[in-house]
């Protein structure tokens, strides 16, 4: 069985290949091809290779964060997918991306929901069981498949702490807000380092993970309600700032609409403290230090231009991609 997996630069590029390796190590045959959206957009040869993979392909999965508009060659690829009659699943934080491309999945609604649930819930175990499920349902393979494992969509990133009121506060306190995907994929080195550094400076830290947009599959209440839950009025009185380790415009993602109206509520204005944007680069630290060109166009768009729309204070890069 052949799968074409296309991911944006913000995705964990080892997630699906590692799951495929586990499948093969368990004695099953699977052919997974993976491309990055920026590679396809920048190099026509990668687009041609991706189109070639569509022959005998069982499923195409495209995973993007802030919408398919950042995948410039999507419409061309979509035409090829349609011509070859291959099923497509789109994962995006913009509901219209998912809704508009739903007709290109050629299976049942039950199968569509099952696949999207594995993808949306994320993590290495769910990725393995997604591939196992596809092998069983499409190829008829005799393989054990577990139900999707669920992680909290939002919460406090401290052991045994569920209520923000149980966090010991100090004279100066900062909320560190980051994506639930970091917890699911154990991609937390930069968050841990930031929390440790703030603590060493006698700053009280309120670490909050969340999923920006509401989702029934994930059980997400979205960034607005998450911040209201974990930064209630009495906590805000002692809050100095928010460090936001989330790209794009969180105001737009929290209430994407259809583009005809302005964002109706601004959670950051409601909380009323400075919001500092913390950037995760696509580049490695070595590449960043040796390259004088600075942030690339996608990094600028996601971590500077869009956050400025929300009124964030743009800071220095927090982390690199190794």
Neighbours of 114 (CB within 10 A): 19
Q: Taking the mean position of all CA atoms in its chain, how far away is CA 3?
A: 20
d(CA 89, CA 6): 10
d(CA 147, CA 235): 38
The answer, yes or no, to whether residue 257 has pLDDT greater than 60, is: no
Closest listed residue to residue 155, CA positions, set 228, 230, 216, 244: 230
For residue 202, what pLDDT is reported?
Answer: 96
d(CA 155, CA 162): 7
For residue 296, what pLDDT is reported?
Answer: 75
Neighbours of 219 (CB within 10 A): 14
Q: What Rg do the C-alpha atoms of the chain give, in angstroms?
A: 20
pLDDT winner (highest mean) among 187-196, 243-252, 313-322? 187-196
Q: Which residue has the higher pLDDT, 135 or 308?
A: 135
d(CA 241, CA 293): 30
How is the chain split into domains, by residue range? 2-139, 155-319
* Token reading at 85: 């009659």
- Is the CATH code 3.40.50 the one for domain 2-139? yes
| Ramachandran category for residue 216: left, alpha or beta (phi over 0 → left; psi -120 to 50 → alpha) | alpha
Report the percent of the chain where pLDDT is more than 90.
67
Alpha-carbon distances, residue 27 vs 16, 46, 127, 135, 146 (angstroms): 17, 30, 17, 12, 17
User: pTM for this structure?
Assistant: 0.80
For residue 286, what pLDDT is reported?
Answer: 86
Segment 17-43 shows an average pLDDT of 95
For residue 217, what pLDDT is reported?
Answer: 87
**Comparing 47-51, 157-161, 252-256, which segment has the lowest mean pLDDT?**
252-256
Segment 79-84 shows an average pLDDT of 97
For residue 203, what pLDDT is reported?
Answer: 96
Segment 50-70 shows an average pLDDT of 92
Furthest CA-CA distance within the chain: 62
Segment 56-82 shows an average pLDDT of 93
Average pLDDT in the chain: 90
Mutual orientation of helices 124-134 and 109-121 as an angle, nearest 10°?
A: 160
Q: Which residue has the higher pLDDT, 158 or 132?
A: 132
State the CATH architecture for 155-319. 3-Layer(aba) Sandwich (3.40)
Closest listed residue to residue 9, CA positions, set 70, 61, 56: 70
Q: What is the pLDDT of residues 261-315, one digit of tens each?
A: 555 678 999 999 999 999 888 777 888 788 887 887 777 877 888 888 888 999 9
The answer, yes or no, to whether residue 21 has pLDDT greater than 60, is: yes
pLDDT band at 320 (very low <50, low <70, confident <90, very high): confident
Cβ-in-10-Å burial (0-12, 13-18, 19+) of 301 comes to middle
Is there a shared CATH topology between the 2-139 domain and the 155-319 domain? yes
Q: Taking the mean position of all CA atoms in its chain, how far away is CA 17?
A: 17
Torsion, CA 95, CA 98, CA 99, CA 105, rounded to 10: -170
d(CA 179, CA 187): 10
């Amino acid at each position: 069985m052949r799968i074409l997996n296309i991911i944006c630069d913000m995705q964990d590029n080892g997630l699906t290949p590692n799951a495929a390796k586990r499948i093969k190590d368990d004695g099953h045959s699977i052919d997974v091809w993976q491309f990055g959206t920026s590679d396809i957009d920048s190099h026509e040869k990668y687009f041609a290779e991706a189109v070639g993979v569509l022959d005998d392909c069982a499923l195409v999965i495209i995973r993007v964060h802030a919408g398919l508009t950042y995948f410039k060659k999507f419409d061309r690829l979509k035409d090829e997918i349609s011509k070859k009659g291959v099923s497509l699943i789109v994962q995006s934080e913009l509901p219209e991306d998912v809704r508009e491309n739903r007709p290109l999945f050629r299976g049942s609604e039950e199968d569509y929901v099952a696949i999207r649930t594995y993808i949306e819930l994320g993590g290495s175990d769910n990725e393995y069981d997604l591939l196992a499920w596809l092998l069983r349902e499409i190829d008829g393979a005799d393989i054990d498949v577990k139900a999707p494992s669920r992680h909290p969509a939002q919460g406090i990133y401290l052991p045994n702490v569920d209520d923000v009121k149980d966090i010991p506060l100090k004279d100066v306190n900062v909320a560190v807000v980051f994506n639930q995907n970091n917890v699911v994929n154990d991609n937390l080195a930069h968050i841990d380092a930031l929390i440790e550094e703030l603590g060493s400076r006698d700053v009280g830290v309120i670490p909050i993970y969340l999923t920006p947009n509401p989702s029934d599959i994930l059980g997400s209440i979205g960034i607005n309600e998450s911040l209201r839950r974990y930064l209630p009025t009495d906590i805000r009185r002692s809050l100095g700032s928010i460090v936001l380790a989330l790209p794009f415009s969180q105001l737009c993602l929290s209430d994407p609409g259809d583009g005809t109206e302005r964002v109706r509520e601004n959670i950051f204005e409601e909380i009323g403290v400075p919001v500092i944007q913390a950037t995760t680069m696509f580049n490695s630290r070595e590449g960043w230090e040796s390259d004088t060109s600075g942030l690339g166009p996608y990094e600028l768009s996601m971590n500077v231009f869009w956050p400025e729309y929300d009124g964030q204070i743009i800071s220095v890069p927090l982390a690199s991609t190794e």
